[in-house]
Amino acid sequence: MKREIRICGFGGQGVVTAGVILGKAAAVHDGLTACQVQSYGPEARGGAARAEVIIADHPIGYPGIHLADVLVAMSQEAYNRYGRAIKPGATVIIDPDLVFQRDEAQPVTPVRATRIAEDLGNTVVANIVMLGAVAALTGVVSPEALLAATLESVPARFRELNRRALEAGMQASEAQGTGA
């Protein structure tokens, strides 16, 4: 098994943090092999950002992703830049409140991560909502591993908020009728 995941959005959405947490869930808690790389523009906050995670049950020879198995797009600019660099049949998850124009031929799963995060009380957890959706839709990491990695990666005062964000992301993806 080898899965290549690209999470993209704009700086400040926690794209890099999401990639780190996903890799940690796989490598530390699920006992898989994982590597993670990231890039963002010099403007950082507000510019394009992406995190790429490869998760496998064998050694990973090269850390780069050419075509993703899973794409999470949290902004229009990110979707425009990375939305076509996917494998046929890839799982594509978008925040439809921030990605308005897309390739209509490519099936997507809409997860209103920003709106869900607002309803939870803090938009900063939209990235964690998306991670919940990734886990539910793909099974690439176990929900238990993702929860443990998330709780280890956030300040203590935000642990309950992040736990609720993960659960909300899993529920939102299952509500689409495509949950794993």
Q: Three-class SS string for 77-132?
A: HHHHHHCCCEEEEEEEEECCCCCCCCCCCCCCEECCHHHHHHHHCCHHHHHHHHHH
Residue 102 reports pLDDT greater than 90 = no
Separation between Cα atoms, residue 34 and residue 60, nearest integer Å: 8
Tell me the per-residue pLDDT of 49-67, one tens digit each, with 9 for 90 and over. 899 999 999 999 988 898 9
Report pLDDT for 173: 81
Task: Tell me the one-letter amino acid at 77.
Answer: E
Q: Three-class SS string for 158-179?
A: HHHHHHHHHHHHHHHHHHCCCC
> Which residues contact residue 172 at a Cβ distance below 8 angstroms, ignoring those fewer than 6 apart?
111, 112, 113, 116, 129, 132, 133
Separation between Cα atoms, residue 93 and residue 42, nearest integer Å: 26
Any idea what DSSP says for residue 30?
A: S
Q: What is the mean pLDDT of residues 157-171?
A: 95
Find the domain containing 57 and state its range. Answer: 2-175
Q: Which residues pair with 39 in a beta bridge?
A: 50
Residue 178 reports pLDDT greater than 50 = no
What is the CATH number for 106?
A: 3.40.920.10
Q: What is the mean pLDDT of residues 114-123?
A: 95
Q: What is the mean pLDDT of residues 92-104?
A: 88
Tell me the per-residue pLDDT of 3-20, one tens digit each, with 9 for 90 and over. 999 999 988 889 999 999
Domain count across the chain? 1
Query: Is residue 42 domain-resident?
Result: yes
Q: What is the mean pLDDT of residues 25-37?
A: 95
Residue 92 reports pLDDT greater than 80 = yes
Q: What is the mean pLDDT of residues 41-56?
A: 78
Query: Is residue 180 domain-resident?
Result: no
Task: Tell me the one-letter amino acid at 68.
Answer: A
Query: Is residue 93 domain-resident?
Result: yes
Query: Is residue 36 domain-resident?
Result: yes
Separation between Cα atoms, residue 95 and residue 130, nearest integer Å: 9
